[in-house]
Amino acid sequence: MTYRVCFVCTGNICRSPMAESVFRARVEEAGLDGLVEVDSAGTGDWHVGEGADPRTVSVLEENGYAIAHTARMFERSWFARLDLVIALDSGHLRALRRLAPTDEDARKVRLLRAYDPAAQDDLDVPDPYYGGRDGFEECLEMVEEASVGLLAAVREDVEGRVA
């Protein structure tokens, strides 16, 4: 049975495709690519059908990550097939939990940086869209750090299902 994770930000062109690419690489490195499916979406429809922001693409590629992405909007019906919905900031967390059809679905929504023990109080990944390239590099660093803990949690869930 495939374990499904979806990363969600605002427009699905910066943070969530970055998180999707990084986490997919971590899943492959861990040998879980046949067991874990990674995806992303946005809370809004502003960029549906577009590719990832060019700054996202360049930062990812310069750091060895592959990306082939088309933006889309998160749909309420997806909760039924997803195991984990990873919000990139607290606004996304609230929006997704309101959208969730059931309390069980709402519990599937978590903040990405909650998986980074060093993150402490501020668990939001700031939106780099309106800033310079350094914001995209900072975003990548936060995503990479949180992906370690997220992978450990997903691996535990996957192994629990197989056992």
Q: Is 15 a catalytic residue?
A: yes
Q: Where are the beta strands (DSSP E) in the chain?
A: 3-9, 36-42, 84-87, 109-111
Catalytic residue among 6, 15, 26, 39: 15
Catalytic residue among 33, 72, 97, 127: 127
- The separation between the first and the last C-alpha atoms of the chain, rounded to the nearest angstrom, is 12
Q: Which amino acid is at 20?
A: E
Q: Is 127 a catalytic residue?
A: yes
Give the DSSP per-residue string, 43-86. Answer: SS-TTTT----HHHHHHHHHTT--------B--GGGGGT-SEEE
Of 59, 57, 61, the C-alpha closest to 69 is 57
- Cα 21 to chain centroid, rounded: 9
Catalytic residue among 6, 9, 14, 139: 9
Q: What angle do CA 91, 95, 96 make, to 5 degrees?
A: 115
Cite the active site residues. 9, 15, 127
